[in-house]
Amino acid sequence: MTDCEYCHKEIKKDEDFVLAGKYPSNWEKWKRQRFHTDLLQSPEDYGTIYHKSCFLEMAKNEDVQK
């Protein structure tokens, strides 16, 4: 599975998560399909993944620092 970038614990099946990233362009999607044999893609292929609670805590801490 995938680990949260904030707490470094595994994100388990059916847990809420947040993906901070950018949606891939058509060119990036085409390249991935054309040159990769594994068509299964993970959310973290497109950004940084966090537990929902970790992301909210990180955002809260960022607001406090401002």
Report residue 51's pLDDT band, with 50, 70 and 90 as the boundaries.
Answer: very high
Q: CA-to-CA distance for 55 and 4, rounded, in angstroms? A: 9
What region, left, alpha or beta, does residue 25 occupy, with left being phi > 0 and alpha being psi -120 to 50 degrees? beta
Percent of the chain's residues with pLDDT above 90? 45
- Contacting residues for 7 by C-beta, under 8 A, at least 6 apart: 51, 54
Q: CA-to-CA distance for 52 and 17, rounded, in angstroms? A: 5
pTM above 0.75, yes or no: no
Bigger pLDDT: 44 vs 18: 18
Mean residue pLDDT of the chain comes to 83
Q: What is the DSSP letter of 1?
A: -
